[in-house]
Amino acid sequence: MNADSLRKILDLEKQRGYADTAVFGGLDKFLRNWSARAVESIGNPRLLARFHKLFKADYAAMTPEQRSQWVQDVLEFSGEMEGKDSTVESPPQKPPRKKPVPGVKKTTAPAGGPGLDSPVTIVRGISTSLSGKFGKLGVNTVRDLLYFFPHRHLDYSKMKFISQLAEGEEQTIVANVWQAQETRPGGRRSTEAIVGDETGNIRVIWFNQPYLAKKLTTNARIMLSGRVSLFRGLHVFQSPEWEIMEGQDLVHTARLVPVYPLTAGLRPRQVRKLMKDFIDLWAGQVTDFLPPELRKRLGLLELPAAISQAHYPDDETTKNKARVRLAFDELFLLQLGVMSKKRDWQESRPGSPFDIKQPIVDKFVKSLPFTLTAAQDKVLKEILADLAQSKPMSRLLQGEVGSGKTVVATAALLVAAANGYQGAFMAPTEILAEQHFATICQLLSRLGQEEGEGYIKSYTGFLERPLKVALLIGDIKQAGKKQIQKQVLEGDIDIIIGTHALVQKGVEFHKLGLAVVDEQHRFGVEQRSALREKGFNPHMLVMTATPIPRTLALTLYGDLDLSVIDELPPGRQTVKTKWLKPNQRESAYAFVRKQINEGRQAFILCPLIEESEAIMAQAAVVEYERLSREIFPDLKSGLLHGRLSSADKDAVMESFRGGGLDILVSTPVIEVGIDIPNAAVMLIESADRFGLSQLHQFRGRVGRGKEQSYCMLLAENPSEVARERLDIIENVQDGFQLAEEDLKMRGPGEFFGTRQSGLPDLRMAKISDVALLELARTEAIELFQVDPGLDKTENRLLAQEMTRVWAGAAEWS
Ligand code: ADP
Ligand code: MG
């Protein structure tokens, strides 16, 4: 049993203020389990006595002070246990069964199996130095290694006779070695062999591998997998995978052969061989945590079989079944986790129900220079209904840029203020915070009288008292900031707008009742929780312009309810989009020039370069210099990239917004999600490198003013798939439709980095698995209704798996 897992849990518990939330289903259950397993390995009687005393405790029944003391004691104890009685940590030297057939039988081992949390060094063939290399790949424990899945498989399963070999494709033969010798083609020490079967002979060459000559003895039977090419009119096998056939399981040839992610110092053959032995020995040790009834009903493979087949599949069909099982696990655990998080904070701590002062809302809505769209109307009703509950709102509001989310959020903030609560509005950047401040002030000024200037404004006309709105960003001078902070603390400010700094640094609220967070993808789970910790368990509205298909949103954000503004205000222009051939580059520049002459401004977006932000910045500098010297020497261009200081970024943005620049050259990583109505042209370089949703986001940066706007896409040599994307973006304006298309083409990791969002990793699940996503969700909801704490016997292993996955996944603090 691993003292490390206990320490992690206790640390988490400590961070969360001893609220008994570190483990799914409560700490006691976990402790009982942990101690039952740990006790066996304590030999020292003195330690054993202390152990029994400590673990008799009923954590749930303790006061927070007692809990803190107890956790302290246990942490100390576990340190001693490790220091003085190393048997606690020492893993079994080998798994109990010699060579289980994966997935056929299970041992009666406790959940997780013995040793799965042990370091990989206990695996035969993994030395300390090798374990370091695996460590670089994120593989530290036996379990990690079991879940260290190949990127893909090479299909070497189709056997051919030598006479049937064709050039180009991957093929496998079995042959006899006639002769093998070292040669030096072009000075490279290599091995050349002639091999044959009953249909003919073929030459084989392995460049740079002279040592093979000795291994391939005459008459050895070998299997070769690889590609055949033509050399001087004859077929030659070039550096194929090889394997001498001695009746054992094949590892490198004649099957679906795994291709593992590698790092320096790991060789493919070595890893494959090692993994084969490892999987054969260990996959059977894994205990299936899915309740058997569920697994059978859904026709999923058993976990040991799924793991083993994901590495060394028997065939394509089984490989897919293995992936489905493992993907289901990921999605199911994800869904259960987010649902239980939601329950934890929604039901354990009541929020503040607001009285929906409808006359105030109506007055605000009537004061607007437009009528709300039907979608805005519906969403506002959903939000107001939430605010009236004592269960704090936790809602994700999706809507394209310009769909009118801010207006709706402002109405909600007004209701908070009318109830005597404060509202916070958070933006991802200072520029956007300023913009929101300006927008909200403008919306409020329609009816109320505006007073004050700078960073605090006050409006009469909505409430009996003046409504005060403030902006808090780094730009404000220290004295002003102090003043605002003081007023926020004293409850003098009703609505405060700023960046994440609002929750991170020293801002204390008098009575925070509603938090609005703009741009979900910049604002992870942790920040959301931090915000809740600001006290009063505020209602929370998270807004995003990233169109996430409903199923996916519900899965990844199962802790949020979902509202969608799926309609733009009337009269919005569409951005004319055109994919240009490389030889139309000149005319693209001419078009930019023409638009600028007509008084517009243009964005030029530099290509996405995978290597690093530094290289991308460098490339942008070069492109900027080329454009401003050679193409547009007479126009005013500015440059924006991630390596600039935020002050410099702001200065460039300000200058562009103020019309001081005609062209803004920028890297794609830069947030230009800002309203510049006069910008009417977006030119995107190497557009084939971007996904559809990204292209759509970029395009959304123009088309905000009255003038017709344009988006031009340049792509030098697009692949087949990229052409398809470019065709779609040319013809489709609807962000949701684009997102759906996008998801069909890409995986979830790419579309939505789960790593950053504080959720467990999705490795096997693809977003195109819509049916599986829905299945996992339905099953999770059903299970949650019957057994929300996963207390039933048949769900015990699942509860443990939940704890493990979620404790490892996130600093969910
Ligand atoms: P979002 O936050 O979704 O990007 P905003 O709320 O900032 O959108 O609205 C974008 C622009 O559209 C603003 O200028 C806003 O005043 C305007 N707007 C919002 N709702 C409507 C509507 N129903 N009809 C017309 N214009 C609207
Ligand atoms: Mg907006």
Query: In terms of pLDDT, which residue wins out, 720 or 355?
Result: 355
Is residue 406 in contact with ligand 1, taking CB distance under 6 Å? yes
Determine the atom of ligand 1 nearest the C-alpha atom of 408: 6
Determine the atom of ligand 1 nearest the C-alpha atom of 376: 23
Distance CA 431, CA 521 (A): 17
410: CA distance to ligand 1 center in Å? 11
85: CA distance to ligand 1 center in Å? 66
Candidate of 396, 406, 441 to mutate for ligand 1, largest count of ligand atoms within 8 Å of Cβ: 406
CB 204 within 8 A of CB 194: yes
Mean pLDDT of 49-69: 81
Is residue 408 in contact with ligand 1, taking CB distance under 6 Å? no
Cα–Cα distances (Å) from 444 to 280, 407, 495, in that order, read: 68, 10, 12
Identify the CA nearest to 231 among candidates 164, 185, 180.
Answer: 185
Res 273 pLDDT > 80: yes
Record the tokens describing residue 480, joined without a space.
Answer: 């002003």
Res 810 pLDDT > 70: no
Least confident of 365-369, 477-481, 585-589, 753-757: 753-757
The enclosing H or E element of 724 equals helix 720-731
Q: What pLDDT score was predicted for residue 174?
A: 83
pLDDT digits (tens, 9 = 90+) for 1-29: 467 778 878 887 887 778 787 776 678 87
pLDDT digits (tens, 9 = 90+) for 407-421: 999 999 999 999 999
Q: Which ligand is nearest to the CA of 380?
A: 1
* Residue 581 burial by Cβ neighbours in a 10 Å radius (0-12, 13-18, 19+): exposed
Res 809 pLDDT > 70: no
In 10 A of CB 397, how many CB atoms? 27
pLDDT digits (tens, 9 = 90+) for 746-766: 554 444 444 444 556 677 877
440: CA distance to ligand 1 center in Å? 11
Ranges of beta strands (E only) in 444-524 are: 449-451, 456-460, 467-472, 495-498, 512-518
CB 398 within 8 A of CB 547: yes
In the chain, pLDDT over 90 holds for what percent of residues?
A: 30
CB 24 within 8 A of CB 806: yes
Instruction: List all residues 6 or more positions away from 640 whose beta carbon is below 8 Å from its beta carbon.
Output: 649, 652, 653, 664, 665, 666, 667, 670, 672
Candidate of 364, 379, 407, 446 to mutate for ligand 1, largest count of ligand atoms within 8 Å of Cβ: 407
The enclosing H or E element of 414 equals helix 405-418
Q: What pLDDT score was predicted for residue 624?
A: 94
Identify the CA nearest to 704 among candidates 665, 678, 681.
Answer: 678
For residues 435-452, b (16+ Cβ closer than 10 Å) or e, as one string? bbbeebbebbeeebebee
CB 392 within 8 A of CB 539: yes
Is residue 401 in contact with ligand 1, taking CB distance under 6 Å? yes
Q: Which ligand is nearest to the CA of 409?
A: 1
Q: Which ligand is nearest to the CA of 368?
A: 1
Q: Which ligand is nearest to the CA of 403?
A: 1
Is residue 404 in contact with ligand 1, taking CB distance under 6 Å? yes
Mean pLDDT of 71-82: 80
pTM, whole model, 2 decimals? Answer: 0.59
Distance CA 522, CA 757 (A): 8
518: CA distance to ligand 2 center in Å? 8
Res 610 pLDDT > 80: no
Is residue 546 in contact with ligand 1, taking CB distance under 6 Å? no
Mean pLDDT of 330-352: 79
Res 176 pLDDT > 60: yes
- Three state DSSP letters for 139-195: CCEHHHHHCCCCCEEEECCCECCHHHCCCCCEEEEEEEEEEEEEECHHHCCEEEEEE
**Mean pLDDT score across all residues of the chain:** 82
pLDDT digits (tens, 9 = 90+) for 510-554: 998 999 988 655 555 566 666 666 656 789 898 887 767 676 777
Mean pLDDT of 582-607: 94
Res 723 pLDDT > 80: yes
Please, where are the H alpha helices in 283-315? Answer: 292-297, 303-311
Residue 366 — very low, low, confident or very high, per pLDDT cuts 50/70/90?
Answer: very high
The enclosing H or E element of 358 equals helix 358-367
Which residue minimizes the CA distance to atom 20 of ligand 1? 404
pLDDT digits (tens, 9 = 90+) for 759-799: 566 778 776 677 888 899 889 989 989 998 888 999 999 99
The β-bridge relationship of strands 394-399 and 561-565 is parallel
Q: What pLDDT score was predicted for residue 575?
A: 92
Which residue is associated with the tokens 């002279």? 210
Record the tokens describing residue 389, joined without a space.
Answer: 């509950």
Query: In terms of pLDDT, which residue wins out, 757 or 43?
Result: 43
Rounded to 10 degrees, what is the CA torsion of 590, 596, 600, 606? Answer: 60
CB 215 within 8 A of CB 247: no
Is residue 438 in contact with ligand 1, taking CB distance under 6 Å? no
